[in-house]
């Protein structure tokens, strides 16, 4: 079940090819997440050392097989990572859209790219985790056919979701 959506004509989702913008987007994601948890972090420089982003290392550490960056014109406005299949499933990680660009179809375009990558890698299901207070993200994932499943992660306030994937056409 993929969702038909309207996306801006100047939006492109492309595989990451080393652009520094991925580091900025992932840093923004981490800072926003820490703030949502009650931290007073002001900038990526304030993040704990393990969260300071070096994209090649992060991509390797997370077991990422695919990384995508969403571009509106020359501006990088979103990103998503996809892990290599394990036990039949790929995990979608670090989906992030610049807050100024939300509500324009960017997140849906990134989900579509992530699902296509998971299918191409031979995964039978896509999995993800989302913080329970990110209700907009949960609604997005539900529109894309994800359902809550028993947790595989014991962190507080984390919802685990997955959906089955159709084989590539």
Q: What is the pLDDT of residue 43?
A: 82
Residue 78 exposed, middle or buried by CB count within 10 Å (0-12, 13-18, 19+): buried
The CATH number of whichever domain residue 86 belongs to comes to 3.40.630.30
* 87 within a domain of the structure (yes/no): yes
Average pLDDT, the chain: 85
Domain that holds residue 89: 11-124
pLDDT tens for residues 40-67? 888 888 877 767 666 556 656 655 688 9
Q: What is the pLDDT of residues 145-154, one digit of tens each?
A: 999 999 887 7
Establish if 60 belongs to a structural domain.
yes
Is 139 a member of any domain? no
Whether residue 168 lies inside any domain: the answer is: no
Report the pLDDT value the prediction gives residue 107, as an integer from 0 to 100. Answer: 95
Is a pLDDT exceeding 60 seen at residue 3?
no
Q: How far is CA 19 from the centre of its chain?
A: 17
pLDDT tens digits for range 101-119:
999 999 999 999 999 999 9
79 domain-assigned: yes
Residue 165 lies in a domain: no
> What is the per-residue pLDDT for 118?
95
User: Each residue of 84-93: pLDDT tens digit?
Assistant: 888 999 999 9
Q: pLDDT: is 100 or 2 the higher one?
A: 100
Rounded Cα–Cα distance for residues 83 and 90 (Å): 5
Q: How confident is the model at residue 5 (pLDDT cuts 50, 70, 90)?
A: low
Residue 160: pLDDT band by 50, 70, 90 thresholds? Answer: very high
Q: How far apart are CA 34 and CA 87, in angstroms?
A: 31
Q: Is the residue at 147 inside a domain? A: no
Smallest CA-to-CA distance from 88 within 147, 1, 163, 3 is with 163
* Cα gap 23→47, rounded to integer Å: 13
Residues 70-88: what's their mean pLDDT? 92
Share of the chain above pLDDT 90, in %: 49
Mean pLDDT score, 26-32: 84
Q: Hunting for tokens 């299901």 — which residue is that?
A: 125
Question: What are 120's strand-pairing partners?
Answer: none
β-bridge pairing 89-97 and 125-131: parallel
Domain count of the fold of the chain: 1
Query: Is residue 148 included in any domain, yes or no?
Result: no
Q: Give the pLDDT confidence of 122-137 residue by residue, as tens digits.
A: 999 999 999 998 899 9
Query: Between the CA of residue 76 and those of 55, 120, 143, what are the distances in Å?
Result: 15, 24, 24
66 forms beta bridges with 82
User: Of 163, 132, 135, whose CA–CA distance to 147 is shortest?
Assistant: 163
């Amino acid at each position: 079940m993929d969702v038909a959506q309207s996306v801006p004509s100047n939006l492109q989702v492309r595989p990451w090819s080393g652009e520094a913008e991925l580091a900025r987007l992932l840093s923004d994601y981490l800072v926003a997440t820490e703030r949502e948890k009650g931290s007073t972090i002001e900038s990526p420089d304030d993040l704990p050392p393990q969260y300071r982003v070096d994209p090649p290392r992060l991509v390797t550490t997370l077991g990422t097989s695919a990384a995508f960056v969403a571009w509106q014109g020359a501006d990088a406005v979103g990103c998503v990572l996809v892990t290599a299949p394990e036990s039949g499933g790929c995990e979608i990680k670090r989906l992030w859209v610049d807050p100024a660009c939300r509500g324009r179809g960017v997140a849906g375009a990134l989900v579509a790219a992530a699902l296509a990558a998971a299918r191409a890698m031979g995964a039978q299901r896509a999995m993800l985790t989302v913080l329970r207070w990110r209700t907009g993200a949960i609604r997005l994932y539900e529109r894309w056919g994800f359902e809550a499943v028993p947790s595989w992660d014991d962190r507080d306030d984390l919802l685990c979701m997955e959906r089955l994937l159709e084989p590539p056409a």
